[in-house]
Chains A and B, each alone.
Chain A
Amino acid sequence: MRAVPYEEYLRTARIPHIWCPGCGHGIALKAMVRAIDQLGWKKDEIAMVSGIGCSGRAPGYVDFNTLHTTHGRAIAFATGVKLANPSLKVIVVTGDGDGIAIGGNHLIHAARRNLDINVVLFNNFIYGMTGGQVSPTTPLGCNATTAPFGNYEHPFNIAELVAAAGGNFVARGTVYQPVELEKLLLTAFEKKGFSFVEAMSPCPTAYGRRNKLKGPVAMMVDLKERSVPLARAKNMGEPELEGKIVTGVLLDRNKEEYSEIYRKLTARLGGA
């Protein structure tokens, strides 16, 4: 593996970061930085946009054009950024609460439009920053401060939802498999059109300690044991897949991108 000059991409003056020991978000962010480094993107041409929550702090630590917006709306802000300056590479970092609860509508519509932005969702199954409330991806029966007797709601399968909504690329990885995650991110970033990568990330502080996953190692082992590559999952039945995390590329296609369609329209109208 080649050496990655992380310091070139990080705002080292902003570190230490706020993420807890054992949090997976730093691993996911590093994987993003490696993918960007491999692509050779210039820092000036990258806009990283986030919402609220632990994931929302990621842009503050990287030396790009960075925008930390309101809760759930990062994709909507990013839509404006990208359309106003299509030469920017726009990456949204969001979380399960930010991206699929309060911001779920923006996520599915951005996928539908197939605008050329890249959404990376750090899924840690919980509202971490606010102290461990149940999220739309908290597994059935698991504990949270607002589900003290176990979660009685079914969780979202986010990647499948996004793949059904549209877009050109949808994938899921975990921070237990950072090299695989990096490859998925690389493909996503390169892809023209809407791309979405769900990165499963442990939260020992707000999730693990309430759910018999005592500490970061136990959570990593849990991620490892629950992960199933898509190729293997295809031969598994629904009961067997219960509680599993299917990883890999769920959608990869080349539908015409939003701005291309819009540019054709403006050209036809003489707007150039």
Chain B
Amino acid sequence: METGNRPAPRLLTGNEAVAHAAIDAGARFFAGYPITPSSEVAETLAVLLPKAGGVFIQMEDEIAAMSAVIGAAIAGAKALTATSGPGFSLKQEAIGFACVTEVPCVIVNVMRGGPSTGLPTLPAQGDVMQARWGTHGDHPAVALCPERVSEAYNLTIKAFDYSERLRTPVILLMDEVVGHVTEKALLVPPDPAALPDLRKPVSPPEEYRPYRYSGQVPPPLVPFGQGYRYHITGLLHDETGFPSNDTGNADRQVRWLMDKVEANRRLVTDFETVDVEGAEILLFAYGACARSAKAAMRLAREKGLKVGLFRPRTIWPFPYEELAAAAGGARVVVPVEMNLGQLSYEVMLALGGKVPVKPMYKVGGEAVAPEELLAFLEGV
């Protein structure tokens, strides 16, 4: 597959690219449970991980898979799981546990349509708000949305990086189109120097405070077994990790969880703009919808419509300011989603009523056809 040291382009699916990226990012632990349309992530890692000396385990259910991933991360592994809507729902309690205990891990969610079992094999973007607010209580969320196979690879590597740096679970939110489409992609492995070991202790055991809130990033989560015997609990806890009922401490802790992601907005904010300058209509799209949007833009140009695109790669935290700046000159903003309006409301929030928002929603299991989007744009 490779020529010399230069990786050659290859033909693969988004789900396969995620699996390769996990290995290249240094992940050596996967726990999962079969679920369409994400299963190829597990199937590919079932091949790759044992060969890389890592651990692949198919657990008895979705909750167990998420729990095992967090356990492995606590023991020092870079770890991930993969799922889809129903499984993502089941994992939410454990995701909240990873948020409050500040354990880095990656959750791949190849979305399907819902509610419930929904449309397992067809594309949708049903879990956008679940990725933000799925677990109970105030908690941070970082979620990345690739539009193509090569980007699924790159964003998986970034997901691990953000997760380690911020000590928080990161969600790779794909849709079925990106997960299952087979296309040419150049997979460029990250420079190992760009993947520092962020678990290394920086203080002796007696001074180690796993939850000391100072600065922009949390202290390293030292893996179990290295002489730093400490306590991890899903109860709100003080800087030592032991449970605390102190209301002042609880206030500080919950705010810290949110603030550490806010403080690192510049690190995680990632978006693409296309033809934004002079655009009368600004499309807002992510994942497979962005591909539909780009195709529709080409058709629109032929018709003389001035259409631009704002495409977030990181949807959580949401790029409010960046979107507002890009939309400043537009007559109307058109969010395109494969749901009945999830990020559209964030778009409205970002624009604060200054630019009209006319969303195009599609549910029912079909991707947005460029022609139908064009027809919609001609009507706005």
Cβ contact of A81, chosen from B50, B71, B229, cutoff 8 A: B71
Q: Which of B72-80, B177-185, B365-373 contacts A (4 or more CB under 8 A)?
A: B72-80
- Residue among A60, A65, A88, A271 making CB contact with B242, cutoff 8 Å: A60
Say yes or no: is B376 at the interface (Cβ < 8 Å to chain A). no
Which chain B residues border A66 with CB–CB below 8 Å?
229-232
Q: Which of B52, B69, B97 contacts A70 (CB 8 A)?
A: B97
Q: Which 6 A-B pairs have the closest CB atoms?
A: A80-B71, A76-B67, A80-B68, A80-B72, A84-B75, A84-B72
Residues of B within 8 A of A65 (CB): 224-225, 228-230
| A84/B79 in contact, CB under 8 A | yes
Contacts A65-B230, A269-B50; A88 near B75 (Cβ below 8 A): yes
11 contacts between A and B (CB under 8 A): A44-B225, A45-B225, A65-B230, A77-B74, A79-B57, A79-B67, A80-B71, A80-B72, A83-B55, A109-B60, A272-B53
Cβ contact within 8 Å between B75 and A85: yes
Mask for B149-178, Cβ within 8 A of A = 1, else 0? 000000000000000000000000000000
8 Å CB interface, B286-308 against A: none
Interface residues of A (CB under 8 A from B): 14, 43-45, 47, 49, 59-60, 63-70, 73, 76-85, 87-88, 105-106, 109, 262, 265-266, 269-272
Name which residue of chain B comes closest to A105, CB basis: B60
In the complex, the answer to whether B63 meets A73 with C-beta atoms within 8 Å is: yes
The answer to whether A80 touches B225, judged by C-beta atoms less than 8 angstroms apart, is no
B interface residues, how many (CB within 8 angstroms): 47
> How far is it, in angstroms, between the C-alpha of A87 and the C-alpha of B54 when the chains are bound?
15
- Residues from chain A with a CB closer than 8 A to the CB of B97 are 69-70
Cβ–Cβ contact B79 & A80, under 8 A: yes
CA distance A262 to B97 in the complex (A): 29
Q: Which of A63, A83, A109 has the most CB of B within 10 A?
A: A83
Contacts A70-B97, A76-B63, A76-B64 known; A83 to B29 CB distance under 8 Å?
yes
CA distance A67 to B50 in the complex (A): 27
B275: chain A residues within 8 A (beta carbon):
none
B343: CB under 8 A from chain A? no
Smallest CB-CB separation from B60: which chain A residue?
A109
State the total of A-B contacts with C-beta under 8 angstroms.
142
**CB of B243 within 8 A of chain A?**
yes
* Per-residue interface assignment for chain B, residues 341 to 359, with 1 indicating a CB less than 8 Å from any chain A CB and 0 otherwise: 0000000000000000000
**Closest Cβ–Cβ distance, residue B60 to chain A (whole Å):** 4
Q: Is the CB of B75 within 8 A of A80?
A: yes
Measured between C-beta atoms, what is the minimum distance from B245 to chain A in Å? Answer: 11
Report how far A272 CA is from B53 CA in the complex, Å: 6
Let me know if B242 and A77 touch, CB within 8 A: no
CB nearest to A110 among chain B residues: B60
Beyond the given A77-B70, A272-B53, could you list 7 further A-B residue pairs with CB under 8 A, ordered by the A residue number?
A: A60-B233, A63-B229, A76-B63, A81-B71, A83-B72, A84-B29, A265-B50
Q: How far is the CB of A7 from chain B (nearest CB, A)?
A: 15
Q: How far is the CA of A11 from the CA of B231 in the complex (A)?
A: 11
Complex Cα gap A215–B226 (Å): 44
Q: Within 8 Å of chain A (Cβ to Cβ): is B61?
A: yes
Chain B nearest CB, measured from A167 CB (Å): 15
How far in angstroms is the closest Cβ of chain A from B80? 12
B325 at interface by CB-CB < 8 Å: no
